[in-house]
């Protein structure tokens, strides 16, 4: 019996040593196969990159996108890829600071907000949708929109890759650019709480994730800011991208509700991928401000203008 145990231990040592020696060789073989089969190419134009793009001369915000992405492969090792070539990075247009979107009358204890262009958002807990507040608001509450990029073909393609192409490996690069855009505000004031713009649960299940949540988590990790899902979307609405600009306010009116998170006295920074007309941001701001938020700003990946 003792001889059998000794022989068993000997064979286990031999197998462990063989596996340890074969491990690096097997990994090297797999890497060679992957390098041959998976082309390290630009997400935007398909040109093979193979090395870090030259950052000098690029817009500052676009330099965050020149960093490599790390993609797990078969649970064995990580593929490192530079997802954009220099020519495509040069097409991103950098924002030169925040843009102000006026939200009139939204403040603590009030359940409504009106944008500069006249769209009215009324929180249903205070008044029926469509009722105009009285008295008329004396001055707008400035809703500053921070973004690293202006909306153009390059930034829209980046959003599409994340949302519809499921390229979640691009989220750390995109959120790093967003964090850099918000950094001056964080240095000036106390760090805000990041609140992602919510999706309807059915839309969230179809896509598998909410890109605003992922971007908020990435930016929050860089800035050291907490991320709180303080809003929820109760109405199923067509995508804003498929809705005419003049009808986007009606599309999202009264579809957002508080989730129960404590916002009283806090600086809330709404996080989304795009801000075009500002209708979604204004609708969410109305709920946050009615919930007691002392200030609301917006952080997005790209904005218009």
Q: Kindly list the distances between the CA atom of residue 259 and the CA atoms of 122, 174, 195, 206, 263, in Å, as whole numbers in the listed order.
A: 17, 27, 11, 21, 10
Residue 60, token pair as written in the block: 């500052």
Q: Note the pLDDT of residue 15.
A: 52
This prediction's pTM: 0.75
Q: Note the pLDDT of residue 16.
A: 55
Range with the poorest average pLDDT among 70-79, 89-98, 112-121: 112-121
Residue 29, pLDDT > 80, answer: no
Residue 211, pLDDT > 90, answer: yes
Could you give the percent of the chain with pLDDT greater than 90? Answer: 34
Per-residue confidence band for 233, with pLDDT thresholds at 50, 70 and 90:
confident
- The Cβ of residue 109 has, within 10 Å, a number of other Cβ atoms equal to 8
**3-state per-residue secondary structure call for the chain:** CHHHHHHHHHHHHHHHHHHHHHHHHHHHHHHHHHHHHCCCECCCCCCECCCCCCCCCCCCHHHHHHCCEEEEECCCEEEEECCCCHHHHCCCCECCCCEEEEEECCCCCCCEEEECCCCEEECCCCCCCCCCCCCCCCCEEEEEEECCEECCHHHHHHHHHHHCCCCHHHHHHHHHHHHHHHHHHHHHCCCCEEEECCCCHHHHHHHCCCHHHHHHHHHHHHHCCCECCCEEECCCCCCHHHCCHHHHHHHHCCCEEECCCCCCCCEEEEEEEEECCCHHHHHHHHHHHHCCCCEEEEEEEEECC
Q: Note the pLDDT of residue 87.
A: 94
Q: How far is the C-alpha of 139 from the C-alpha of 137, rounded, in Å?
A: 6
- The Cβ of residue 67 has, within 10 Å, a number of other Cβ atoms equal to 17
Q: Kindly list the distances between the CA atom of residue 290 and the CA atoms of 25, 121, 124, 180, 263, in Å, as whole numbers in the listed order.
A: 61, 11, 11, 29, 10
Domains belonging to the chain, first-starting first, are 2-89 (no CATH), 99-303 (3.40.50.2020)
Long-range contacts of 73-79 (CB under 8 A, 24+ apart): 73/30, 73/34, 74/30, 76/27, 76/30, 77/27, 77/30, 77/31, 79/34, 79/38
Residue 213, pLDDT > 50, answer: yes
pLDDT digit string, tens, across residues 179-192: 999 999 998 888 89
Phi, psi of 79 (to 5 degrees): -90, 130
pLDDT digit string, tens, across residues 100-147: 776 544 333 444 454 444 444 444 443 434 444 444 444 455 678 999
Q: How far is the C-alpha of 7 from the C-alpha of 30, rounded, in Å?
A: 33
Could you give the percent of the chain with pLDDT greater than 70? Answer: 65
- Give the pLDDT mean for 284-290: 81
């Amino acid at each position: 019996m003792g001889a059998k145990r000794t022989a068993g231990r000997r064979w286990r040592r031999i197998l462990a040593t063989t596996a340890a020696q074969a491990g690096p060789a097997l990994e090297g073989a797999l890497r060679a196969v992957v390098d041959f089969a998976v082309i390290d190419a630009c997400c935007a134009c398909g040109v093979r990159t193979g090395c870090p793009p030259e950052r000098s001369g690029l817009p500052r915000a676009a330099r965050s996108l020149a960093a490599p992405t790390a993609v797990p492969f078969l649970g064995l090792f990580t593929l490192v890829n530079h997802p954009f070539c220099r020519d495509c990075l040069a097409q991103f247009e950098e924002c030169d600071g925040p843009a102000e979107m006026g939200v009139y009358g939204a403040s603590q204890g009030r359940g409504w907000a009106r944008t500069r262009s006249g769209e009215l958002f009324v929180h249903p807990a205070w008044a029926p949708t469509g009722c105009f507040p009285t008295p008329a608001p004396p001055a707008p509450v400035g809703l500053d929109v921070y973004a690293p990029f202006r909306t153009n073909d390059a930034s829209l393609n980046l959003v599409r890759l994340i949302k519809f192409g499921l390229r979640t490996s691009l989220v750390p690069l995109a959120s790093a650019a967003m964090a850099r855009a918000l950094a001056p505000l964080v240095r000036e004031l106390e760090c805000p709480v990041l609140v992602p713009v919510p999706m309807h649960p059915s839309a969230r299940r179809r896509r598998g994730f909410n890109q605003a949540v992922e971007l908020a988590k990435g930016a929050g990790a860089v800035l050291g800011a907490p991320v709180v899902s303080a809003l929820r979307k109760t109405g199923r609405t067509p995508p804003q991208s498929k809705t005419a600009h003049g009808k986007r306010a009606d599309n999202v009116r009264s579809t957002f509700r508080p989730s129960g998170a404590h916002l009283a006295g806090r600086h809330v920074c709404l996080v989304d991928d795009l801000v075009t007309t500002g209708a979604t941001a204004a609708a969410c701001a109305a709920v946050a401000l009615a919930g007691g938020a002392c200030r609301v700003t917006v952080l997005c990946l790209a904005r218009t203008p």
